[in-house]
Amino acid sequence: MPITPLTPDKLRLVCDASQFEFATTADLMPRTTIIGQPRGTRAIEFGMGIQSHGYNIYALGQMGTGRATALERFLQNHAVNMPRPSDWVYVHNFETPHQPRALELAAGEGKLFQERMGRLLADLQNELPRAFDTDSYRDAVRDMRVQFERQRDELLRQMQEQATQVGFALLNTPSGLVAGPVREGQPLTMQDVEQMTPEQRLVLEQAQIQLNEALDETLDEIRVREGKARTQVEQVDREVAAAAIKHCFTQMRGMYEGKTAVLTYLNALHDDVLNSLDTFAPADDEDGQPPDLRRYEVNLLVNNAETQGAPVIMEMNPTYFNLFGRIEYEMVNGMAMTHFTNIKCGALHWANGGFLLLYAADLLKYPDAWDALKRALKSAQILVQQPNIFNENAPVLAKSLSPEPIPLQVKIVLLGNPELYYALYHRDEEFSELFKVRADFDSRMLRTLESELAYAEFVATRCHEENLRHFDKTAVAKVIEHGARLAEEQAYLSTKFGAIADLVREASFWAGINGRSLVTAADVAQAIAERTERNNHVEKRIQESILKNTIFIATDGEVVGQVNGLTIIDLGDYTFGQPGRITARTYMGEDGVVHIERQTEMSGPIHDKGLLTLMGYLGGTYARSQPLSLSASLTFEQNYGGIDGDSASSTELYALLSSLAELPIQQGIAVTGSVNQRGEVQPIGGVNEKIEGFFKICAARRLTGKQGVLIPASNVDELMLDEAVVTAVSANQFHIWSITTVDEGMEVLTGVPAGERNPDGSYPEGTVHRLVQDRLLKLALDLKSFGNEGDDDDEEKED
């Protein structure tokens, strides 16, 4: 039965714009839900709902599927109804200064607390100097000082009288006050002492020792009384200061009644102020250094005053410092110093109480950040520390801080591809415990009326949010058709919304260039064409080489053992199909099928598998009752870059069968499809690009009405061909045949039926298989005959 070409309606599933009730996308509301990902959405909702340890989320999917944008928006819609997380501040730890304390305050209270503390400090600086600048205070201090001085003078007078009675006096020396012998009011010299008799010197020395012991006791008593006087002054100072600042702290404590941590800090601050009154004393002169009051400041680390609901944070550069914050340093007198006010927050602080989105590949570039994140999730704490603190061998470059950890309650959402997920799952034993929720995001979704309307809403969202020109319904239909092309199947739409968004932006631009206020289908088509034009430089160069016959590709006539195969070239941002000539030569021998690319190590393992499959087909089809004895060579002509894949295995088989049967093949027909050992043609990738690649060459040379492409029948549902190809097929100028077996392909290529096996194992006369079978038998007999002649020659030589 003849194989008929596909009809135009099979080549492209057109979107019917009349099904839409809206006139333009301006009639549609922006979409805030995730499009076409029910499985991924359910997983995300599950991960958000369960609060147990380890239920963080890994969102699988390829880049460009719009996961990040859709997830961020989805989480924001959910988070807006969640409670706002607390503010966090760091304050000085008066007991252990290198361990600043973390205080938790209600959302918006952190900034208020900082401002109140600033006013409190200003009040202290104002009230304390004023409290000590009173006559009553000065009189009280002076009275205590005068009293002490009187007591001191009296003790010294009594000591002086005691010394005078024995001929001594109290003398001031560099080492302090001492008792020394005098005569007529003048200290004795060394000569005076030497002129004394030994008995006199002994009496003098004993008296001096006794006086100095008494003097020491007197001086000790003076010091004790001086200490008591100082204590009395300090007590007065504390009482005066406490009275002066009582109302300030009473007011502050009243504002934070019931907040134990804040009250504890305020009490410690109050005691420190009373113990450091000199800090608040005014400078003695204009050049005096201002007092260092930084320890009374408040470091507002996290301020959620403006946050609506729970935070949703996307950290694009997840270094250790960007995630966990940092402690900054200052150079003071050539030394690196720091202070608790230099503690800066990271993304974990901002996301605490909400959600943090991270790209897994970016995070794993920083092993210290990944390890620290796992520690934070396991301990449910955020530590602000230098990353080298976890390395015992790292040098300590400066005195640092150990801030009090902040409790962590965050849901981490990692975004990455499946390969990275499985690598982490198998190689990192902590990963499966910390990321228990896997959310799959597919790169395509079923094409239904509902999903097409979702596409329209996506276009409307981009227009509303980016202030683009709105699309009429025909333009939306064209975008949907492009989405099906990206999905590589008529029944599906691509969820690579990054590419769709780019198309929307570009179509809006071209509508403006064309002077239209609404984007039409023509503008969308122009945007697609312009993008192709920007990226197809390599494709055009190859086409030019083919058209100039620098690369040999025939598009008409008939040739034995020569077929146009189709390959895909992927440049990353642009993929196109290219025809390539495959030739086969068969001859007498027993080497089997030799592929030149395989022999020269220019082929990959998948291609080599296809070649061995081809040998299986030949043996199963033609060697049931006769030997398979042949030598054949196959090659991709003018191939210098290597090949892989099995999509050309059917093409190689057609070339080999043509050579064996000595049947010419139509050169206006190109072929793609892999083949199995039973001769069934299997699906391949890139079917649209392959067809269009050959069509462009044929169209450039002139369509004859006999040209076309053979594709596997299982690829028909993937056809979303360019409208130029569909138009040519409609005009009967180009054809596309879908086939299921090699037999059908040979009939199209040669015009000769393949033939069905007779009960005796032979094939009908005039069929392809009969011609191949006869040729193989002849090659085997000729080889055997040639071998026998050689044996006869050997026997004659022996005779």
List pLDDT tens digits, range 59-85: 887 776 666 777 787 888 888 888 999
Within 10 Å of residue 635's Cβ, how many Cβ atoms? 21
Distance CA 411, CA 309 (A): 15
Query: Is the overall model pTM greater than 0.85, yes or no?
Result: no
Distances (CA, A) of 379 to 372, 402, 405, 723: 10, 16, 10, 60
Give 469's DSSP letter. Answer: P
How many residues make up the chain in this entry? 799
**For the chain, how big is the Rg over CA atoms in Å?**
47
Nearest to 296 by CA among 274, 272, 262, 260: 272
Helices (H), 593-722: 596-599, 605-622, 649-661, 687-701
Residue 799's pLDDT is 44
Nearest to 159 by CA among 104, 237, 221: 221
Query: Which regions of the chain are under pLDDT 70?
Result: 1, 32-54, 64-67, 282-290, 388-398, 787-799
Give 101's DSSP letter. Answer: E
Burial 245-281, CB ≥16 within 10 A → b, else e: beebbeebeeebeebeebeebbebbbeebbeebebbe
Distance CA 748, CA 450 (A): 41
Give 603's DSSP letter. Answer: B
Residue 563's pLDDT is 96
Q: Write out the two tokens for 288.
A: 């005096």
Angle between helices 768-798 and 605-622 (to 10 degrees): 90
Nearest to 653 by CA among 623, 624, 632: 632
3-state secondary structure of 122: helix
Q: In what order do the strands lie in the sheet with 168-173?
A: 168-173, 176-183, 186-187
Angle (CA) 335 402 379, round 5°: 150
For the chain, the farthest-separated pair of C-alpha atoms sits apart, in whole angstroms, at: 162
Nearest to 416 by CA among 456, 357, 479, 367: 357
Q: In what order do the strands lie in the sheet with 87-91?
A: 101-105, 87-91, 299-302
639 contacts: CB under 8 Å, gap ≥ 6: 580, 597, 602
Q: Are 337 and 329 in contact (CB under 8 A)?
A: yes
Q: In what order do the strands lie in the sheet with 631-636?
A: 592-595, 631-636, 575-587, 562-570, 669-671, 708-712, 735-739
Within 10 Å of residue 683's Cβ, how many Cβ atoms? 17
Distances (CA, A) of 675 to 479, 647, 649: 35, 8, 6
